Chain A
Amino acid sequence: DAGVTQSPTHLIKTRGQQVTLRCSPKSGHDTVSWYQQALGQGPQFIFQYYEEEERQRGNFPDRFSGHQFPNYSSELNVNALLLGDSALYLCASSSDGGTEQFFGPGTRLTVL
């Protein structure tokens, strides 16, 4: 079992650009959550996808959007990048109703 995988591992963008991050959940999991971890901070919840729908959303602007595919993999899209969007973006998967979320290694986004 490969666990939760994320791509790419690192990404450098400039202000105003758009970025897409990808996540494949752990085998058997149908729910994907995305978190933003700024330097020196704990992860903050962005949103969660289940059955290809956004089920819950944290306090992030509409520039942050996502998608879940029929195979349960997910994408996080960020438009009009700001310097403050530089962070480690973590994907976590779980089974619906499960109490434990399994995290991927993250994608480190740097916005210049």
Chain B
Amino acid sequence: AQSVTQLDSQVPVFEEAPVELRCNYSSSVSVYLFWYVQYPNQGLQLLLKYLSGSTLVESINGFEAEFNKSQTSFHLRKPSVHISDTAEYFCAVIKQDRDDKIIFGKGTRLHILP
């Protein structure tokens, strides 16, 4: 079975400061990795995904995540956060063998301080 651990339930950070949201996963088979973002009172939006190839993936709004197979991690980073980044961030995995069940972590609430 797969599992996802997000090590921080909340992360407060000052505006324009860098941030890292940590994610570790466990799986006996190969997986695809995702970060989803949930803005207040909204559904989930895909932020970025790792399927194969380069281990560093980027989103259009400045976030990036690096897949580290040896450490089974997929941490999310942004060099400078904005107030609009206030949201809940979910790390997720899905098995590569056509198992369409997404396994989510419990989420990390990013709180931007002015």
Residues from chain A with a CB closer than 8 A to the CB of B28 are none
Give how many A residues have a beta carbon under 8 Å from the other chain's beta carbons.
Answer: 26
Interface presence of B101 (CB below 8 A): yes
As a 0/1 sequence over residues 15 to 35 of chain B, the CB contacts with chain A under 8 angstroms (1 = contact) are 000000000000000001000
State in angstroms the CA–CA spacing of A101 and B106 once bound together. 18
Residues from chain B with a CB closer than 8 A to the CB of A86 are none
Residues from chain B with a CB closer than 8 A to the CB of A104 are 43
As a 0/1 sequence over residues 43 to 82 of chain A, the CB contacts with chain B under 8 angstroms (1 = contact) are 1110010000001101000000000000000000000000
Residues from chain B with a CB closer than 8 A to the CB of A4 are 43
CB pair A56–B104 under 8 Å, yes or no, is no
Which of B44-52, B56-64, B67-75, B77-85 lies at the interface with chain A? Answer: B44-52
Chain A residue nearest to B104 in the complex (CB) = A42
State in angstroms the CA–CA spacing of A104 and B38 once bound together. 11
Residues from chain B with a CB closer than 8 A to the CB of A94 are 100
Interface magnitude class on chain B = 20 to 34
CB pair B46–A100 under 8 Å, yes or no, is yes
A23 to chain B, nearest CB (A): 11
Residues from chain B with a CB closer than 8 A to the CB of A103 are 36, 43-45
Knowing A41-B106, A42-B106, A105-B42 are in contact, say whether A99-B94 is a contact too (CB < 8 A). yes
State in angstroms the CA–CA spacing of A102 and B94 once bound together. 14
Chain B residue nearest to A50 in the complex (CB) = B100
Chain B residue nearest to A31 in the complex (CB) = B100
CB pair B98–A97 under 8 Å, yes or no, is yes
Interface presence of A87 (CB below 8 A): no
9 further A-B pairs in the complex, CB-CB below 8 A; given A41-B107, A42-B4, A42-B90: A55-B100, A92-B44, A99-B51, A99-B94, A101-B100, A102-B46, A103-B45, A104-B43, A105-B43
